[in-house]
Amino acid sequence: MTYSDLPANWLDLPLTDPTLAADVVDLYVSVGDRRQGVLSALLCDSGARFLAAIHLDLPERAPLTSPKSCAKALAPLIPALQLRPDGALLLALGRPTRDPTSDRAWLEAARKTCETASIHLLAFYIATPTHLYVPSLPVTPDASPSPAAPPLAPKRAVDESQPVAPPSAPEEEPVAQRASPSGSR
């Protein structure tokens, strides 16, 4: 699915549904944003329904391989998000190409930043001109979710009838693959 598949009432639906959330990310993170490199914050209400999208420019010349840019980009937004502690946030990193190691580091930086600020992070997506996916963290034997950390929305099972990233990339969970970049919002 893509943003063109959004139901007419999508603004009334919670973005806890990973398919719907991916379609909304696809709508708001343009191909230009993906080529340039931008962190998009989709603000949600207490019911996880979309309120607004804010595109956070990353520091000039900030390497997209450095997740330190995540906390810096979110810093001006955090005080406003803390005013509505019942709200939620969905983040999407637009980048020109996939980089699974860096993508996992960005996910972890986003989780830690949101956890520290007591912000409910629904999900973290990576959006490239041709793919949209949720990076996954490697599982270690001693890894256990922090009780203070808000859980990410559950990942959707991949529908084999939908085009997805090649199966040779087990370190990430593909959500969607664009047939042709449209660049429109």
- Which sequence spans correspond to the domains of the chain? 3-177
Q: What is the pLDDT of residue 41?
A: 95
Sign of the torsion formed by the C-alpha atoms of 139, 140, 143 and 149? negative
pTM metric for this prediction: 0.74
**Assigned CATH for 3-177:** 3.40.140.10
Can you give the pLDDT of all 185 residues of the chain as single tens digits? 467 789 999 999 999 999 999 999 999 999 999 988 889 999 999 999 999 999 987 766 666 667 777 888 888 889 988 888 888 999 999 988 888 888 998 999 999 999 999 999 999 999 999 989 998 765 544 443 333 333 444 333 333 333 333 333 334 455 554 443 444 44
For residue 57, what pLDDT is reported?
Answer: 78
